[in-house]
Amino acid sequence: MNFPQMYKIRQEFPRLGINDIKSAVRSVLSSSDLKNRIGSGARVGITAGSRGINSIDLILQEVVSYVKSCGGMPVLLAAMGSHGGGSPAGQRKILNSLGITEEKTGAPVICSTDCIVIGQAFYGDIYLIREALECDAVIAVNRIKPHTSFHGDFESGLLKMLAVGLGGPPGAASLHRCQPHLLSKAVEEAGKAVLNVLPVSLGLAILEDAYDEVRKIVAIQPEVLSETEKTLLNEARSYLPGLPVSELDVLIVDEIGKNFSGTGMDTNVIGRLRIEGSPEPALPRIKRIVVLDLAREAHGNAYGIGLADFATSRLVRKMDRKAVYLNALTSTFVRRAMIPMTFPSDREAIWAALVSTGTPEPEKSRLIRIHNTLHLSEMLVSESVFQEISSLPHIHKIAGPGILKFNSKGNLAPF
């Protein structure tokens, strides 16, 4: 079989990133009324999640510094639901990998799964980690972004951080018993219940641009947190990057991992949910997806591998099945943890994907290779895709045409 000729291209998105993150954080905090909400000597909990938010270590460092300047005693609260294998040690391992340590941020990092029930929602119990309730004030810090499993007024953001992140493993498991179409409602109800119980003094919302760079930081008073988050979610949608075409024969993804998306691959990018009872997105339409490797930063959690059709043996070998299965069982989206057809090398996996599409001329296939679903500015596209997009003003050719380059083991060279 002949593989398609490939071109390396760059998609140009508006660059909207903040240059000086620490100054931006300091500015929004100073403009808020946080100082009036923190008493001298108050124990202030600051949420620290498991997502690979750009510059999150610097953001938390500045929040810690500001709290200290207000006379507070800051602590960082691991807020990641069931991530980290549902254990304090696993939580700390993830936070360490993100640079969220006491040495880096200047505040102790509390990792715990000691949770108590603080109320009831339509789906069941609402939980909070005990350490959050022991704080005199709490600052919720999180990125606001469209979710990869459900859509609604509230998706990934501050309310979800309060409802699921600070709910620990039992809180995450309880909320995810909902049907997918009810998850946004569940996040809203549980998040508002937590706001009524927990002394939340401020929400700090982070929005990223298409380059995964911090675009905006917004300080939100708890009284208007939910309404403001709704508005910011709509803004965040407008920054999402995507593939340059809506139909493909094969998509090659070099790496998956929770550092790129909670589902390993962003479902908004690949057009797949794999949730029973939920319709698949109309676009993009991708016949076959091949995943080649697992990011080191994922710590073995290959949740989302089941979104692909083909995988390599080295990816499967790196899987921490306990972490993957816990994630799948907690979310109830078990198809995302199912291992696809597996091949010893990249060449064999890609070959199988092309053959399985049934195309009579594989060299003319519509194929794209990306680093991951978070970083979509540079990619390799096949001849047929390039001819379709080459005249678009935001598409720039870097190199090509050329062949896919494999090493002696049949694995692709970096691009």
Tell me the pLDDT tens digit for each residue of 277-323. 889 999 999 999 999 999 999 999 999 999 999 999 999 999 999 99
Query: Is residue 244 within 8 Å of residue 378, measured between CB atoms?
Result: no
Confidence check: pLDDT of 67 > 80: yes
For residue 45, give both structure tokens: 């909990």
Confidence check: pLDDT of 1 > 80: no
Q: Would you state the pLDDT for residue 85?
A: 84
Instruction: Find the Cα–Cα–Cα–Cα dihedral 388, 394, 399, 404, rounded to 10°.
Output: -60
Q: Using CA atoms, how far apart are residues 360 and 108, in angstroms rounded to an integer?
A: 60
Higher-confidence residue: 277 or 358?
358
pLDDT confidence band for 253 (50 / 70 / 90): very high
Cα dihedral sign for 50, 53, 56, 60?
A: negative
Query: Is residue 112 within 8 Å of residue 128, measured between CB atoms?
Result: no
Q: Using CA atoms, how far apart are residues 114 and 170, in angstroms rounded to an integer?
A: 10
List of domains in the chain: 6-13+241-402 (no CATH), 21-237 (3.40.50.11440)
pLDDT confidence band for 2 (50 / 70 / 90): confident
Of 177, 148, 411, the C-alpha closest to 264 is 148
Alpha-carbon separation of residue 115 from 47, 127, 140, 193, 327 (angstroms): 15, 6, 18, 16, 18
Strand order across the 247-256 sheet: 341-343, 310-312, 285-294, 247-256, 367-370, 378-382, 6-11, 395-402
Q: What are phi and psi of 47, to 5 degrees?
A: -70, 140
Question: Per-residue pLDDT averaged across 54-83, rounded?
Answer: 97
Higher-confidence residue: 325 or 330?
325
pLDDT tens sequence across 363-411: 999 999 999 999 999 999 999 999 999 999 999 999 999 999 999 999 9
pLDDT confidence band for 82 (50 / 70 / 90): confident
Q: Would you state the pLDDT for residue 278?
A: 87
